[in-house]
Structure 1
Amino acid sequence: MARGRKRRVWSDEEKREICAQTRVPGMSVSQVARRYNANTNLVFTWLRDPRFAPGDPPEATSTFLPVEIIAERGCPEPAVPAIESRIEIDLADGHRLRITGPYDPEALARLIRGLSA
């Protein structure tokens, strides 16, 4: 006699509950099956059975949400204009910096001082 797991017997109510959870938006049949430690193919079998399968899935409905448009607040202009360029800096200790696109010169100077220290 083979030793293995005992076969689980599911009540009709449990089958209905498990099948109903497969209709929750964002849930897959395999996720529900794992939650109940059931075989995914078994859950698909129950879904084909009209006794356990829930009705048609609810249709997605559109809902309008209230929107309030407010005046745009003025944003301060950056103190340093963005510069589109490519810079390569070779430091004495062997570090190499490559900067492409806009950068903050003050932050770059702090970085160089930190690497040179």
Structure 2
Amino acid sequence: MARRTRRLWTDEEKRSICMQTTAPGVSVAQVALRYTVNANLIFKWLRDPKYRPAPGTGSEEAGLRFLPVEIVKEALIARPMPFAENHIEIDLAGGHRMRISGGYDPEALARLIRGLSV
């Protein structure tokens, strides 16, 4: 039988996780899956004024947005990509690949990669 270890969350991590539940179209269950934590624990944090997002501080108001991401299974044979200006391709852990075309915010991209690498 696998032994469960208890994860200790910092106050800042709890606030960040609670803030993510305020994004339009995002459920507490989705955020819980993202962090492999029970949704009931997030609901408990949301009841605590220390972690609950203040009214009007939703992710849209803070300038944060979730972008749609599509994970596609590719053939093992590498195929050349057509050249595109401002094109970046990143191989992530687990064999996933991220492609970005057009303009992008480097800081937002760095935060996204850090979030996906967790």
TM-score scaled by structure 2?
0.46
TM-score scaled by structure 1?
0.46
Larger Rg computed on CA atoms: 1
